[in-house]
Amino acid sequence: MAISATCLLLLLAFSTIQQICIAAITSEQPSIVDARQMPFFNQMGTRLAEYNQKADWTKKIFPTDEPYLDSADQTVYVEVYVSDIDDIIQLSEDCKTGKTENVFKVYRATERTVKQLSEIPHKYFYVSKFSPSICMTVEKEALQQIANQPPVYCIRVIPPLKPFLSFSEIRNLDDIAYTMSNHDSTLDSATDIAIIDSGYDPNDSLLYGEANDNIIPNHQWDFTDGNTDVSNGANEHGSTVADYLVHGFGETGGGETGMYEDPDFWVPLKICDDSYSTANQYASQAIDWCIAHDMEIVCMSWGSEPALPWGINTCNGWWCDRFRTGTLAGITWVAAAGNGGHTNGVAYPAESHFVVAIGAYNNNPAQRESYSDYGTTYFATISPAQIYCLTCYNAQGFTEFKPNAYECGFVYWAWGQGTSIAAPFACADIAIGMYSPNNGEYTQGYEYLLDVIALSNEYPVSPSESSQQGDVIDTHTLWHRQRITP
């Protein structure tokens, strides 16, 4: 279709404005990240053709999500991908300094499409900042109306998520404190860690609220209520995970001991209470927040495990485009592998190529916990010819064995076990071993980070089939590798 001269002038004017904005921003030398993607578009080609031929609205549901329609409650959470998009600029700012750190080129749903979908009855509505998607919680009957909107090309149905923490008396095999005491290594002031979980209340934690005095001021956020009070309701899981993180750095509740260059280093982002009933709904919003606020490390001790403990496990791919965007900006995403005892793969989001998956081990010589998930995740298959997650497939190929590494699932100072414990310990490993030697700026790239983690194992995890890629993270070795290869 021909473009009128007036439209062309407007397009040129908009392009010029974008260039001026970028030029102004680049005087401070932020990173420019091209994150323009149309997730699932190529994978939906055949189904969209069938939709046009048969007017079957279910063909706009991503194929691996169809089983959730049968098992889901009458109210479902979906992420709706649209082809009517704007090509825009999105900035990220350091949450401490306010400095622009990254300039993202992204696709976002147009106001016209947002308005059309907002008129469909819903209980929750959010427009992604980094993806051409609109997140909605609706009655199941509304899905047909959503699917029949012309710009909609894919609907992802995301089931409820769950935490990965249970309780019993156990012991710790962590070596972070050794590294900090022997290598003059501290948590650098530029390193910010976000914990996406059930909020934080020092009175709810099983570890006495030791992370309470390390929260970055004025940045905690409760997505469920839309305010800064992250302590409302039951917060035991998120609070305990956060306290495990600071325990990893050596905090014992006795005040600051000089282990942190800056004691304010983490942010609680609440997506649910301990019931986890809203976690799937608010997770993508919290992920966007982490990208927009230039976090260095993000901890996710929850997920959705493989539907069956046998057979092929495929990557759900729900947020892999945003995980990729974050890694391009230097974010390290860390997630718990899951507690279901699966041997055919880990939980999502840990199964994403762009997320460091952490399993749990118990005691020397590092026996894998029987509940800790492991196995091969398929991003694509040859027979049948099918791509399940194009974002991960383009980066990794057909498969990837997970977890990437193991950390302790036992602690002696409290009651608790699970991959939910291992994940925050791994975040501490990475913060001290990967970030602190470079003064908080990790710039070598995500693939190099994965290689360093895979080659820094303290000792192998048995049985051998659960250790094809990741063994116990050794902070000491991480630290030395970063010193040797800056």
Name the 3-class secondary structure at 398: coil
**HSE-up of residue 205 (Cα within 13 Å, Cβ side):** 25
Q: What is the model's pLDDT at position 68?
A: 84
Q: Are residues 182 and 37 in the same domain?
A: no
Q: Are residues 425 and 291 in the same domain?
A: yes
Q: What is the model's pLDDT at position 261?
A: 66
Q: Are 377 and 345 in contact (CB under 8 A)?
A: yes
Q: Are residues 185 and 269 in the same domain?
A: yes
The answer to whether residue 47 sits within a structural domain is yes
Q: What is the model's pLDDT at position 477?
A: 77
* Ordered per-residue pLDDT tens for the chain, 486 residues: 333 333 323 332 333 334 433 333 344 588 899 999 999 999 999 999 999 999 999 999 999 998 888 776 889 999 999 999 999 999 999 988 889 999 999 999 999 999 999 999 999 999 999 999 999 999 999 999 999 999 999 999 999 898 876 543 333 445 666 677 666 666 777 789 999 999 999 999 888 788 998 999 999 999 999 999 999 988 999 999 999 888 777 665 555 454 566 688 999 999 998 888 899 999 999 999 999 999 999 999 999 998 877 889 999 999 999 999 999 998 999 999 999 999 999 999 999 999 999 999 876 567 888 899 999 999 999 988 999 999 999 999 999 999 999 988 876 555 567 899 899 989 988 988 887 765 555 667 888 888 888 887 767 888 888 888 778 887 877 877 766 554
Residue whose structure tokens are 């959705």: 304
Q: What is the model's pLDDT at position 22?
A: 37
**How far, in Å, CA of 437 to CA of 401, rounded?**
29
Q: Are residues 144 and 174 in the same domain?
A: no
Q: Is the dihedral of CA 442, 302, 230, 224 positive or negative?
A: positive
Q: Are residues 106 and 197 in the same domain?
A: no
**HSE-up of residue 331 (Cα within 13 Å, Cβ side):** 30
Which of these, 478, 424, 422, lies nearest to 451 by C-alpha position? 478
Number of structural domains (the chain) is: 2
Structural domain span for residue 122? 30-157
- Cα 4 to the center of its chain, rounded Å: 43
Q: What is the model's pLDDT at position 166?
A: 52
Pairing of strands 75-82, 152-157: antiparallel
The answer to whether residue 237 sits within a structural domain is yes
The answer to whether residue 22 sits within a structural domain is no
Q: What is the model's pLDDT at position 318?
A: 97
Q: What is the model's pLDDT at position 246?
A: 86
The answer to whether residue 314 sits within a structural domain is yes
The answer to whether residue 299 sits within a structural domain is yes
The overall pTM is greater than 0.85 = yes
Q: What is the model's pLDDT at position 195?
A: 98
Q: What is the model's pLDDT at position 272?
A: 94
Q: Are residues 316 and 449 in the same domain?
A: yes
The answer to whether residue 6 sits within a structural domain is no
Last residue of a domain, one of 157, 191, 214: 157
Last residue of a domain, one of 114, 135, 157: 157
The encoded tokens of residue 319 equal 């947020």
The answer to whether residue 23 sits within a structural domain is no
Backbone angles phi, psi at 267, to 5 degrees: -130, 125
**Which residues lie closer than 8 Å to 200 by C-beta, 6 or more apart?**
211, 212, 215, 220, 230, 231, 235, 238, 239, 242, 268, 270
Q: Are residues 173 and 124 in the same domain?
A: no
Q: Are residues 57 and 201 in the same domain?
A: no
392 burial level (CB within 10 Å; 0-12, 13-18, 19+): buried
For residue 229, what is the domain's CATH number?
A: 3.40.50.200
Q: Are residues 312 and 425 in the same domain?
A: yes
Q: Are residues 306 and 319 in the same domain?
A: yes
Q: Are residues 145 and 274 in the same domain?
A: no
The answer to whether residue 64 sits within a structural domain is yes
Last residue of a domain, one of 157, 177, 198: 157
Q: Are residues 112 and 58 in the same domain?
A: yes
